[in-house]
Every structure is written in structure tokens, then in C-alpha cells.
Amino acid sequence: MQRRGLVHGLAWTLATGAAVTLSWWGVHTVMTGTAYDRPRALPITGAAENSPEASPRSSSTQRPRTTPKPSGPDGSGEDEGKGGTAGGDTSGGSPSGSAPGDGDTSDGGGGSDGSDADAKPSGDVKSYTVSGGRVAFEMGADSAELVSATPDSGWQMQVWKQPEWIRVTFTQGGREVSVFCTWHDHEPMVEIDDR
């Protein structure tokens, strides 16, 4: 009786091992035949930095450029400069009043930011949230560029780019949501197709 149980156990183990091996081989064959594009991070252009609504940025690692130094050498500033140079830097009223002006000057005068924006005409970045994900386009006068596309959890995403249109499709099961941005013979416009 024990021998019969041992034979049954061995037969079950062999059958289970064969089934697992066959399943793994089938899945492995399908997966190696599928080409996956590596995800890539798309750069965010400086369009938002150059917009008038952009607020000045402050950094915890850099001190803001202060205008009291140029105003300190004035006739009335000599006394303040000798007696309170450090005090002028630490006082909250004068630097905070001039900080927005400094922020605007540094944004406009930043060599790398300004030259990048001048080299490439930028448009408005518009974001579209649809069932399945979110897409952002930079809309220029006569073309558009994909800024980012992010699928929601459980959704698949595919992107097609052509000289006169971009398509981003989110799929889940039998559902398909496509975001089209076209600019052939017209300014860029976005259409959403939910199937």
C-alpha cells in the first residue's frame, strides 16, 4: 500500500513539473517575441518659466541678489553701508520688497534659460486628463510637441508620432481612449476619442 502511494506521489510530481515547464515555456516564448519600448522621460520645456504668471523662485542654497548694495553707495547709503551692511542684509523690509524685482530680473537675465527659450519657440503647455491617463502637449503656432503622457494604474499606453499629428492611446481590456493632436493646414488642436 505504501508503495502504491509513493508511485502515485511520484507520478503527480512528474505531471505537475511537466505542466509547469510547458506553461513557463509558452509564456516565455510569447514574452520574448514581444518588443517593449523602454520608458523615457520627456523634458519639460521652459514655456512655463517665461510666462508672465510665473512667480519668482527662491532657492535654499543661493541667496537672492540684493539691490541694497547698489543703493548703499548713494549719498545716504554710506552711513547705512558702514554701520549696517550686515544689518541691511538681515532686515526683512528692504530685501523682501526688492526680491520680486530681483526674481524677475534673474529669470529674464538667466543666460541658459533665456537662450534655450530664444533658440526654440515655445507655446502653451496644455494638459488633458482622460479615462486612462493624462497627456500634456506644448501647443505652438503651427505645430505641437508631446510633453508627457502618463497612464493610470492598470492601463496600457501607446504613442504614435508623425510630422503633422501625435496620437496617445490608453487601453484597458476592451476599452480604448485616444488623444489626437493634429496641425495639418491649421493650428494645433486636440480631439479625444473614447471607445
| Distance in angstroms (rounded) separating the CA atoms of residues 137 and 117 | 17
pLDDT at residue 182 in the model: 94
Contact 27, 34 (CB under 8 A): no
pLDDT higher than threshold 70 for residue 72: no
pLDDT higher than threshold 50 for residue 38: yes
Grid cell, residue 158, equals: 501607446
Between these two residues, 87 and 194, which has the higher pLDDT value? 194
Contact 46, 113 (CB under 8 A): yes
Q: What tens digit of pLDDT does each residue of 95-140 get?
A: 434 344 444 443 444 444 444 444 444 678 999 999 999 999 998 8
pLDDT higher than threshold 70 for residue 5: yes
Distances (CA, A) of 43 to 117, 136, 148, 151: 13, 12, 8, 17
What are the residue boundaries of the structural domains of the chain, listed by start? 41-122, 123-194
pLDDT higher than threshold 80 for residue 6: yes
Q: What tens digit of pLDDT does each residue of 141-164 get?
A: 888 999 999 999 999 999 999 999
